[in-house]
Amino acid sequence: MMRTLSLCRGKDGITYHLFEGKLEDNKECRGTDQWAICRKENRENNTCLKECRPENEMRTLVAELANQEEQICGICVSSMYKNN
């Protein structure tokens, strides 16, 4: 299984948050967390821009959105760059 990320707007309608998930070998998205990586947003009732994407793809998307001055949770973003 591969770690994936979904990018969804928070309940404030402004800030995007990242939600972790897994991509099965058969390419089916499974097990997306209900809580954002920062643990401050619940996925329920949130609109997702992209779902179940590989981490490298999400890094590019987040950078593009940040360059367009979109608000993205810093705690969620930092999780993509921490050393495992």
Model pLDDT, residue 14: 94
Model pLDDT, residue 66: 95
Question: Are 18 and 7 a contacting pair, CB within 8 Å?
Answer: yes
Extract the residue ranges of the chain whose pLDDT is less than 70: 1, 31, 83-84
Model pLDDT, residue 2: 78
Helix, strand, coil percentages for the chain (3-state, nearest 5): 20, 35, 45
Distance in angstroms (rounded) separating the CA atoms of residues 16 and 20: 13
pTM: 0.88
Which residues, 6+ apart, have CB-to-CB distance to 75 below 8 Å?
37, 38, 40
